[in-house]
Each structure stands twice: as structure tokens, then as C-alpha cells.
Amino acid sequence: MSRLAEITVATLSKDLRLEWRSKDAINSMLFFALLVVVIFSFAFNPTAEESRRIAGGLVWVAFLFAAVVALNQTWARELRNQVLDAYRVSPAPDNALFLAKAIGNFLFVAVLEALMTPLFVVFYNLRALGPAYQLLLVAAFGTWALVVNGTFFAAISLRTRSREVMLPLILFPISIPALLAMVEATTAILTGEFSARFWIVLLAVYDVVFTTVCLVLFETVLHAE
């Protein structure tokens, strides 16, 4: 166990350091999300009351699209100099690699969300009428739901032709219930009309189920020949 944790931390800190120096993923995600915010604002031109109703959808669709940008770069970095092949033959536990990548993506998307949320609040005049602290739970569970499957599917789409296109095509259908839960929970909290509890529990269940499936199947997919 400690070995798994050790290698996870080592890989994670390597990825974070690389990202800190290049800022590839975070910059492209940020700019992409900003574009989505502006374009949605033109497309819908909502009043304060309307935007409270549609903001949940807008926010999460923007984050979902932006997250795909980061997820696509997850494994591409390891292809240079055959790093992934070296990892495959090394005795390091495979799940350590997966966990490090998933946690790394989680942190990138979390930073993106922290930076973009104020912009959303300003551009759409948002104010939560429900318990706002629950938004933190929704953000944490929702982001993990996106990145855990996204990291796994990025490893799958890595082996296909036109891999950048492939990732959203296989990730979005599976993510539909998670996306629905995030949007509904956010809308519930912003409008204060109904409780978000069911959706938060559903997100937690989704996280637990798919984290388990990912950890069980990752070794198979990594070593697929």
C-alpha cells in the first residue's frame, strides 16, 4: 500500500511540476472556458432570473468541454520517448499511474473551476438562493466523476486513430447521468426551489462505482497489445 502511495505521489508531483513549468493544460483550458462563457452569454442573453435557472447547465457544459482539453493531454505527454512503454515494463503498480493521472487532472480542473466561477458570477449576476456550501460538494464529486472516467477513456482513445476526437465520443454518453446530476444539483442550489441531496448522493455513488471499475480494468487496458 505504501508503495502504491509512494509511486502515486512521485508521478503526481512530476506531472504537477511539468504543468507548473509549461502551463499547457491550464492555459488552454482557461481560455477555452472563457470563450464558452462569452459565447453562451451572447447566444442566450439571459436576465438575472433566467440565468439562475440555466447557469447550472452553462457552467457544467463549459467545464466539461474545457476538461476534455486537459484530459486529451494526459497521456500524450507519456508517448514522447516511449515513457509509457517504459512504465509498462517497470514493476511499478499500474494503478499508481492511473491514480496520479486522475488526481492530477482533478487538480487542474479544480483550479480552472476556482478561477472561472467568479467570472460566471459576474457575467451572469448569480446569487445562490439555496445552501451555497453544497456547491462545494457538487463541484468536488462532479469534477471527480468527469476526470476519473475521462482519464481512463483518454488511455483508451490513445490507441485509436484521431484520438483527440475519440475521447468526447466515448466519454460523453457514459457521463450523461453524472452531468445530469451536476446540473440539477447546481440549479437546485441556485434557485433554492428543491433539495439537491438526491443528486449529491447520486454523484457520490457514481464516483464510487466508476472509480472501482477504473481501478479494476486499468491494468488490462494499459497492457492491451
Partner 1 sequence: MKHRFTIFALIVLALLSYALYQALVVAPTEQTMGDVQRIFYYHVPSAWTAFLLFFINFLASIWYLVQRKPAADIVALTTAEVGTVFCTVVLVTGPLWARPVWGIWWTWDVRLTSTLVLWLIYVSYLILRRFSTGSQTPVLAAALAIFGFVDVPIVYLSIWFFRTQHPQPVMGGGGSLDPRMWHALLINWLAFLAFALLVCSIRYRLEFLQRELEETQALESLLEPKP
Of the candidate residues 174, 191, 192, 211, the single one contacting partner 1 (CB under 8 A)? 174
Of the candidate residues 181, 189, 196, 200, the single one contacting partner 1 (CB under 8 A)? 181
- Residue 3: CB partners within 8 Å, gap ≥ 6? 93, 96
**Nearest approach, Cβ of 20 to partner 1 (angstroms)?**
32
Of the candidate residues 9, 107, 111, 221, the single one contacting partner 1 (CB under 8 A)? 221
> Is 156 an interacting residue with respect to partner 1 (CB under 8 A)?
yes
C-alpha cell at 140: 468536488
**Nearest approach, Cβ of 33 to partner 1 (angstroms)?**
24
- Comparing CB distances to partner 1, the nearer of 31 and 194 is 194
Of the candidate residues 8, 130, 202, 211, the single one contacting partner 1 (CB under 8 A)? 202
Handedness of CA 177, 182, 188, 191 (dihedral sign): negative
> Is 184 an interacting residue with respect to partner 1 (CB under 8 A)?
yes
Q: Which long-range contacts (CB under 8 A, 24 or more apart) does 23-26 make?
A: 24/73, 25/69, 25/70, 25/73, 25/108, 26/70, 26/108, 26/111, 26/112
C-alpha cell at 123: 457575467
> Is 111 an interacting residue with respect to partner 1 (CB under 8 A)?
no
- Comparing CB distances to partner 1, the nearer of 18 and 221 is 221
Q: What is the DSSP letter of 102?
A: H
Neighbouring C-beta atoms of residue 186, cutoff 10 Å = 25
> Is 120 an interacting residue with respect to partner 1 (CB under 8 A)?
no
- Angle (CA) 92 76 221, round 5°: 50
Footprint of partner 1 on this chain (CB under 8 A)?
A: 149, 152-153, 156-157, 159-162, 166, 169-170, 172-174, 176-177, 180-181, 184, 194, 198-199, 202, 205-206, 209-210, 213, 217, 220-221, 224-225
